[in-house]
């Protein structure tokens, strides 16, 4: 490869680029395609002026990056977090391209977000912020252009505000412009649990492949938000033992098993959807960092990027890591754990249930015909199962780690599409 490789000071983007170049080199991808796929097709920055509840004005910064539309409309969430910036969106957008490609769904990849602390904002302020964001990215979104979805700190309400703003601006109802909407407003039964169901399916298939009984297998779920809580629920239903859970309020450790239904109800009824105040017999409170290091078969990081890193990698005891979040294991930790024989199921395979579920919602929106929850789940589980085994077998047959295998499979499909479509536009 004779291209000048891009690097970035943003860890997430640098990692994304490193992973891409490494796989591209291994598969002998031609230079022109390396150049094309190492850059986003389009990236926009918008300012978002908001009248706050106290009458003052604040201006937030928002972003939308479309990494690729070679396989179809760009697809990916938008998040509200103080760390959001253009490079982070670029990194996460490229991850969406590989995720959609690997999943075999007809989308490219994108990501967006607003740099803000959503906990500081009232519901009405969040609504105004979301609507202004929608208006300012409106020229580049649409059901056949770019279809946003929930991500960190965004959910069904943000999706309705976004869809409603776009629909009003265009003078026609456009439900398929975002996915992750509430069921009553063109959302889909099954979407809320979809990412967790996908993570669960990967863990189950992994344990079966490794001849470990799912019943009684010890699992840590770091991050008890949408992804983690549903993964925990499905796992406990088949008899796995969830020994530890956590969220921003800390770690909750129970070597004999967390009562997942109780924790789930606690979070659902908590005003800020947190574990704070959760109790049960045999529970000890430890820190959010310590929960990663307790004795278990599978560690499932479902919170933010970089949770498993050079500092704590040596103390991780789990033999398997299934990445529910995007980028939870840093490259140095990945390397260190890999050489110890820890098997890591990469994020863009493990958490792809979310975007596969989004695809189902979009299909239903375009057709105006809705599926039952069983129809939804019965389509999702086989796709996740097949995708897991495709990557698992590729890794075994080519003697590479699962992350590399997933990249090789995903890049090939996008590169073939770019090649066939040509470079015009």
List the catalytic residues.
Answer: 111
Taking the alpha carbons of 100, 390, 196, 363 in that order, is the dihedral positive or negative? positive
Neighbours of 262 (CB within 10 A): 12
> Among 151, 146, 150, which residue's Cα sits nearest to residue 159?
150
| Binding interface with ligand GLU (CB under 6 A) | 75-77, 99, 149-151, 179, 326, 351, 354-355, 358
> Among 177, 113, 168, which residue's Cα sits nearest to residue 146?
177
**For residues 296 and 410, which CB has a smaller minimum distance to ligand GLU in the complex?**
410
Instruction: Please give the Cα distance from 149 to 372 (Å, whole number).
Output: 21
**For residues 150 and 176, which CB has a smaller minimum distance to ligand GLU in the complex?**
150
Instruction: Please give the Cα distance from 356 to 379 (Å, whole number).
Output: 10
**Least Å distance between CB 298 and ligand GLU?**
20
CB neighbours of 84 closer than 8 A, spacing ≥ 6? 61, 63, 113, 114, 115, 116
**Least Å distance between CB 376 and ligand GLU?**
14
What does the angle CA 127 – CA 135 – CA 121 come to, to the nearest 5 degrees?
25
**For residues 87 and 151, which CB has a smaller minimum distance to ligand GLU in the complex?**
151
CB neighbours of 358 closer than 8 A, spacing ≥ 6? 75, 147, 149, 179, 180, 191, 194
Instruction: Please give the Cα distance from 145 to 142 (Å, whole number).
Output: 5
Q: Which two tokens stand for residue 313?
A: 């990698």
**For residues 187 and 251, which CB has a smaller minimum distance to ligand GLU in the complex?**
187
**For residues 132 and 351, which CB has a smaller minimum distance to ligand GLU in the complex?**
351
**Least Å distance between CB 188 and ligand GLU?**
11
**Least Å distance between CB 77 and ligand GLU?**
3
**Least Å distance between CB 103 and ligand GLU?**
10
Instruction: Please give the Cα distance from 116 to 60 (Å, whole number).
Output: 7
**Least Å distance between CB 326 and ligand GLU?**
6
Instruction: Please give the Cα distance from 419 to 423 (Å, whole number).
Output: 8
Helix/strand/coil for 385: helix
Q: What is the DSSP letter of 104?
A: T
**For residues 38 and 97, which CB has a smaller minimum distance to ligand GLU in the complex?**
97
Instruction: Please give the Cα distance from 156 to 160 (Å, whole number).
Output: 6
Contact in structure between 194 and 353 (CB atoms under 8 Å): yes
Cα distances (angstroms) measured from residue 74 to each of 54, 66, 95, 367: 37, 6, 12, 19
> Among 408, 309, 299, 307, which residue's Cα sits nearest to residue 349?
408
- Strand-pair category, 42-51 with 57-68: antiparallel
**For residues 153 and 179, which CB has a smaller minimum distance to ligand GLU in the complex?**
179
**Least Å distance between CB 76 and ligand GLU?**
5
């Amino acid at each position: 490869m004779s291209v000048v490789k891009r690097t970035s000071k943003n860890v997430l983007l640098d990692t994304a680029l490193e992973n891409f170049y490494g796989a591209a080199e291994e598969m002998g991808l031609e230079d022109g395609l390396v150049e094309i796929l190492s850059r986003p097709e389009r990236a926009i920055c918008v300012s978002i002026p908001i009248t706050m509840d106290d009458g003052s004005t604040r201006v937030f910064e928002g972003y939308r990056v479309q990494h690729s539309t070679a396989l179809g409309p760009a697809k990916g969430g938008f998040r509200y977090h103080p760390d959001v910036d253009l490079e982070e969106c670029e990194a996460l957008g490229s991850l969406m391209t590989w995720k959609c490609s690997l999943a075999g769904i007809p989308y490219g990849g994108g990501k967006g977000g607003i740099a803000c602390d959503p906990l500081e904002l009232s519901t009405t302020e969040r609504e105004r912020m979301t609507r202004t964001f929608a208006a300012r990215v409106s020229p580049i979104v649409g059901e056949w252009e770019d279809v946003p979805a929930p991500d960190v700190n965004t959910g069904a309400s943000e999706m309705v505000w976004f869809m409603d703003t776009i629909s009003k601006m265009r003078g026609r109802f456009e439900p398929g412009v975002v996915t992750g909407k509430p069921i009553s407003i063109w959302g889909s039964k099954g979407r809320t649990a979809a990412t967790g169901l996908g993570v669960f399916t990967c863990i189950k298939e992994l344990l079966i492949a490794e001849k470990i009984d799912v019943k009684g297998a010890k699992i840590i779920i770091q991050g008890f938000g949408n992804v983690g809580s549903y993964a925990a629920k499905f796992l406990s239903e088949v008899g796995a033992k969830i020994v530890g859970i956590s969220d921003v309020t800390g770690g909750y450790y129970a070597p004999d098993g967390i009562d997942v239904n109780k924790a789930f109800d606690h979070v659902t009824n908590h005003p800020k959807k947190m574990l704070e105040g959760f109790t049960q017999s045999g529970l000890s409170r430890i820190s959010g960092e310590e929960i990663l290091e307790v004795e278990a078969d599978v560690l499932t990081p479902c919170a933010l990027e970089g949770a498993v890193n050079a500092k704590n990698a040596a103390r991780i005891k789990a033999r398997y890591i299934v990445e529910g979040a995007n980028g939870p294991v840093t490259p140095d930790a990945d390397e260190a754990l890999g050489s110890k024989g820890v098997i890591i199921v990469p994020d863009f395979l493990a958490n792809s249930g979310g975007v596969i579920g989004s695809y189902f919602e979009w299909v239903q929106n375009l057709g105006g015909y809705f599926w039952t929850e069983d129809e939804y789940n019965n389509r999702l589980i086989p796709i996740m199962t097949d995708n897991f085994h495709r990557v698992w077998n590729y890794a075994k047959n080519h003697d590479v780690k699962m992350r590399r295998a997933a990249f090789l499979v995903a890049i090939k499909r996008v590169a073939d599409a770019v090649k066939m479509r040509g470079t015009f536009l």
